[in-house]
Each structure stands twice: as C-alpha cells, then as structure tokens.
Structure 1
Amino acid sequence: MTIKPIDPPTLHLHPAQLVDWLELVALFDPFRTARIDALAASLKQLAEEAEEDIGEADRVVERLVEGIENEIELREKHLGETYPYHLDEDAEELQLIEGWQDPKYAFYLVCLVTSHVTKSPILRTPPADGLLLRLRNEIFQILSTLAMAGLARGRAVTVGWPRRSGETITELMNRAAANGAGFSVRNPPGEYVAPAEKDGGIDVMAWTNELSPPPLTLFYGQTASGNNWPEKPVFEHARIFESSYLQDIMTGNRGHTTIIPFRVWDTRFWNAQNLLHRSLIDRLRLPPYAYTGLRQALEGMMVDEADHVENVVAWLNEYRAAALA
C-alpha cells in the first residue's frame, strides 16, 4: 500500500499511531479507503523479519491489530457524529465518509494533519510554507474558539494575535463585557502591561450562557498546535491578564484549558498534564466541542470565528491537493 505523502508503517508505531496511519491513507486514497488486512499483512512481514520465532511474530501482529480495533472503537465513542471514518462490519476496511468536507468532519481531519506537522513517523509531506503559517495563525485558532464556546456552552471571543477583528484588547474586553462575560474593563490597562502587548498570552476566552451576568464560569484557553504544548499552561497568563485588563470580576469560578490537536495515548502522561494545565481539549474532545460551538453560533450566539468556518474546509482541501501533487 503506497501513498505518496505517507511513510510505510513500522512495528515501532503505537496502535494509536497505526490508526492515524490508516486515517491518513484513507484521506489521500482516491477511493477514501484504507485496508486493515493489508496493513496487518505488512506488519506480519516485518515481524517475521524481526523475529526468529514465527509464533511470536504472529502474536505481535495480533496484539497490534487488536489495539487498532480498540483504538478505532474508542475514537468512534468519543467523537460520535464528528468522526469522519467508518469501519466496515468485517473490520477489514477503514473508510473516509463521503461527506468528509463538511465542517463537522473537517475539524477532526485538520487536527489529524496538525498533529503530524513536525517529527511525524507517518506523514512524509506535512503542511509547509504558507499552508503551515495559515494553519498556525488562523485555522487552528478558528477550531479552538469554536471548541471553547462548545465547552462553555456559551459565548467565546478570540484574544490571540493576530486578531481578525483588529480590536485592541480593551475594545475586545468591552465587547465581551457587553455580552455577559461578567466583568468591567480597566481602561487604561494596568501600569505593568508591556507597551507592545498584543494578547497577554491568552488565545480564547469563553463563558457560560446566562440570562444575565455573571456567568457560572469564565474560561481561559490557550492554543498549542506544536509538539512543545506541555510547556504552555494558560493559568499564569490568565492571572496576569486579569490583573492587567479586568476589574470587578463577578465570577468566582475560572476554567483553564489548553487546546491541542494531538491524541495522547499515554494515560499517566495525560493525567499528569491535565493536572498541570488544569484541563486539556485534545483530538478526542476538540471536534465535538467545536461542532457544538458552531451550532450555537448558527442559533445566534456570539461566537467569534464561526463565520470563517469555511476557511477550515478550504485549507484542508488545499493541503490535500498540495500533498498529492
């Protein structure tokens, strides 16, 4: 099974990475299909070359195939209607859904590609140059803002720079306050704000939807689309942001989350990072939350970036075409 943008599978890949491999194959395949039996045959050949004991080689492959099936089931369970793949009844083919360009599916596919931008053992042709710049500065910000709105079941604003709206932070916070965020705005900002400050280290703010303020919870989010995401908890940035730009905050409950495109399969590491970051929105959580945020926007709720969701689909199409060229 040879697909130009993808490297061949190896025995060193975790079952979650092997599912990523299958998903990417299906994304690039003209028939939108990845054959699990063909992958198993390839892995068996590799195992037999690495193991003198044929029986042990068979057991290695059986464990990997079982792990693949379990991982697909886990993704289906977490992602629900936003998972753009279907496993056939015989568990032999993973198929990309025909309507994969619908935003509710594109959210997952963008996360899948983004998680393999750097140091990927799978993706040979990741986004580069202008495509990568747009992914970092625009596309993942759109997904993250929608996801934070979905998490809060409320409104959300894009704080991260560059801001499409062109608002200053003070103007943006005044708009948030006018839409029930539950605080007033320091104007001018605190005296310790750096003169060239653009976003105060905050990428998204969201809050629960109430008939009148205060919201039950005020959320701060930070986007982290690169492999250095463990180094970017948002809590300290939020503390300084509040003291610099906000006052008379009516809400005692604060939520802090880091939004990442990755599938973190190491349970111990995942739990430790949730403690450090307060919470994580990963690839299993982001698409359903983003789809909820989009539906809220379509119902008239203020959710920044919702009117640019078509850019997500356009980017995905452009990247796929570039990778296959």
Structure 2
Amino acid sequence: MAVELYFPHDEIDTKKPNFDIAADYLELTALFSEEFRSFTKDLINAAEIGAEDDYNDVDEEMTDREEIVSGAVRRIDGRREALGGSYPFTLDENGDVLTYVGEEPSYGQAAYILSLILSHLKAVSPILYGSSVYPPDAEIIELRKYFQYFATAALAAEVNGPAWSFGHPRPDRTGFHAKLADVWSVLRDGTIGTAVGAPEKPKDDQVDVFAARIHRDGLPGCLLAAAQVATGKDWRDKSLRNHLENVFPARWFIRQPATRMICYHIIPFSRPDHEFADNCLEFGIILHRLRVPYRVAEAEGLHAQGLAIEAFDQLASAVDWVKAYATRGAAA
C-alpha cells in the first residue's frame, strides 16, 4: 500500500468490533493503493500488529479476528445492496478482495467517496490523519461545500421536486431574507415577515436545504422538506426538529405556512442498523452515506429532465476533485 493509514485498534480489534469502521478501513485502503485494491485479510494483519490483548487461546484469537473480517464483509455487502451502481467498490465472490471501480466516478459514486473522506477527518476518526493524503484545511472547507450541494441534489430526488441550497454561504451569495423570499416566491404559502426580537443578521437559522414537491395547482399542502446538513463530529448536537416546528416559522412569517415542513438530517456518516431507529426519533428522516449517493444518482436524471436543483452545476467540480484525490495514493 502506497499510503500508510492508521488502524484504530480500539474500535476494530475489540470484543465488540465496529464493523462499519472496519469496512471503511478496507475502502480507504483500496482507494489509496496503487492497484486500487485491498484484501480483507489486511484487517487480520493490521489487528495483529500492535495488538494489546493477550489471548490465552490461539483458536479464540483467530476466531475473533476472523469475525472482524466477516463482519466487515457483511457491511460491505449491505452497502452494495443499498447503493447499487452508486457504490464505487466491488467485492470478489469469495469476499477476499475489495476493488475501487470509481476511476471515472458517477455523481453518486463521487458522493460516496466524499462522504467517506468527511467521515474520517481528524475530529471524527484517526484513520486518515497524519497520512500523505489527508486534505489540508482549505480543501476541507471546499469538501463541506460540495457535500452541501450533494445534499441539495439528494433532497430534490427524495421529494421529486425543486431544491434550494439555503445554508450559508449560499452559492448565489444572497442574504438570508432575499433567499427566503426567493424560495417562498415559488412555494407561495404563508406571508414572510420578521418577528420582534428575531436575530438581526441571520445566516441560515439552521436550515441548509429546502425542497418541495409542488402540486400543479400551486396551493398549500405539499411535500415540503427542510434539512440540516451536518458534516462534523457534533452532528448529534444539531437536531433541527424542535426548531423547525416551533421556531423557524414563527420567527420569519407573520402568517405561517399552512404546509408543515418535514424535518431531514443529512450526514456523510454510515450508521449502525441497531441505532438507526432511535436516530430517526431524534432527528427526523436521515439521509446518510447509504442513502445520499443513490438519491444523487436519481437527481441526475431528474435534472436532465428539467428539475430545478440549485448548485447542481457544482457537482462536476466535486467529481473532478474525487478523481484527482484518488490518484494521491499512487503519487505518494
């Protein structure tokens, strides 16, 4: 492997391994290898190097290490099933070799790789940090913007309707009030007006994306989604649900919309199946790494048919970044 990645023993080589992290390690290893491949046995080799647990039973040790591999393979299979062609890796029939196949990535595949990288910035995970491929701070700012644009496309496909990138800084450089007026000139539900005591210089008031499936009659009562896009370790601290129901409409409308906004949380991370139901109770509908890419792929077709998706033209730049980034392993 051309790039030396950190192996998180405390999360993988334990009695309760984090199989998502193990799968991510294999994906990143494949992404940055000269031949775009990783071997599932790499998990066993990495676990053995620097292992701290003393096993009294060699058979028990091998069983635990093999369970790491089988668990990671199950997660990879699940990702492939969930994402189809938007998953930029393939696994051989025996589950031994993972290959990166996104040298010319589709929009969906680029969304996956971008999500994978954002999942392993230093505040979230140690796997990439300190390696030759860790993105510099200025680049990370751009990556977060790209993810916001992918999130806008994903939400457009989710509701099959136009979407606006509302989060600050906005791609059209408008201020908060101008952008809100722009969105509601299309939605035409409620009357915009600022409540007494509202923030004087709002940026986005926690809403990063709006999307709606508007009826042909243009009347209220449609699918109207509002999303918080969270890419940092603190994503769990940014639930939009209460704010969207009780604060945002009362703060920015003198006649509140009759249409209730559906709360979305869009993140680049993968989530354990056993925690997901509880996550939805807290955050609303969650689009994560196993949902955003295939919705982005759907959005590509919808945009080609004329659906208005703000900042969709920026996705080509994100794809170019992913293509260039994948070559850094060979360059190292």
Shared topology, TM-score over 0.5?
yes
Question: Structure 1 regions of 5+ residues with no counterpart?
Answer: none
Could you say if the C-alpha distance between residues 147 and 283 of structure 1 is closer, same or farther in structure 2, counting changes exceeding 3 Å?
Answer: same
How big is each residue's C-alpha offset from its partner over 1:103-162, in whole Å with a ceiling of 9 and x where there is no partner? 2210000000001112414223432311112123x1121111111112112111111110
- Kindly indicate whether the alpha-carbon contact (under 8 Å) linking 2:103 and 2:326 is maintained by their aligned counterparts in 1: no
Instruction: Say whether the 8 Å CA contact 2:102–2:109 is kept in structure 1.
Output: no
Distance in 2 between residues matched to 1:192 and 1:140, nearest whole Å? 33
Q: Distance in 1 between matches of 2:53 and 2:249?
A: 59
After superposition, residues 52-71 of structure 1 pair within 5 angstroms as: 52-71=56-75
Q: State the alpha-carbon separation in 2 of the partners of residues 260 and 320 from structure 1.
A: 22
From the superposition, tell whether residues 83 and 102 of structure 1 become closer, same or farther in structure 2 (CA, over 3 Å): same
Deviations 1:1-36 (A, max 9, x none): x44251246314522111101100111112111111
* Contact map agreement 1:146 1:290 (CA 8 A) in 2: yes
Q: Closer, same or farther in 2 for the Cα pair 1:291/1:7, shift >3 Å?
A: same
Q: Which runs of 5+ in 2 are unaligned?
A: none
Query: Number of matched residues?
Result: 319
Per the alignment, residue 134 of structure 1 pairs with 142
Following the alignment from structure 1 to structure 2, what is the Cα–Cα distance between the partners of residues 291 and 320? Answer: 20
Give 1:283's aligned residue: 289
Q: Single out whichever of 221-230 and 114-123 deviates more from structure 2.
A: 114-123
- What corresponds to 1:194 in structure 2? 199
**% identical equivalent positions:** 25
The Cα shift of 1:90 comes to: 2.0
Instruction: Report the equivalent of 1:309.
Output: 315
Amino acid in structure 1 at the alignment position of 2:118: T
Would the aligned equivalents of 1:174 and 1:185 in 2 still touch at CA under 8 Å? no
Verify the 8 A CA contact 1:84 1:100 in the aligned structure 2: no
**1:35 maps to amino acid:** F
Match for residue 216 of structure 2 among 211, 214, 222: 211
Secondary structure of residue in 2 paired with 1:50:
coil
Shift of 1:318: 4.8
Kept after mapping to 1: 8 A contact 2:195/2:252: yes
Which moved further from structure 2: 119-128 or 253-262? Answer: 119-128
SS at match of 1:192: coil
Q: 1:241 to 1:65 in 2, by over 3 A?
A: same
Of 156, 165, 183 in structure 2, the residue corresponding to residue 176 of structure 1 is 183
Letter in structure 1 aligned against 2:205: G
| Displacement of 1:234 | 1.0
- In structure 2, the residue matched to 1:7 is 6
For 1:160 and 1:17, locate their aligned partners in 2 and report how far apart those are by CA, in whole Å.
29
State how far apart, in whole Å, the 1-side matches of 2:147 and 2:4 are.
22
Is the aligned partner of 1:273 residue 2:279?
yes
Amino acid in the other structure paired with 1:122: I
Structure 2: how far apart are the matches of 1:77 and 1:144?
21
The amino acid of 1:305's aligned partner reads: A
The CA distance in 1 between the partners of 2:298 and 2:316, in whole Å, is 16
**Secondary structure at the counterpart of residue 86 of structure 1:** strand
CA root-mean-square deviation: 2.4
Q: For 1:159, which of 159, 163, 166 is the aligned residue?
A: 166
Tell me if 1:17 matches 2:24.
no
Q: Does the aligned pair in 2 maintain the 1:106–1:313 contact within 8 Å? A: yes
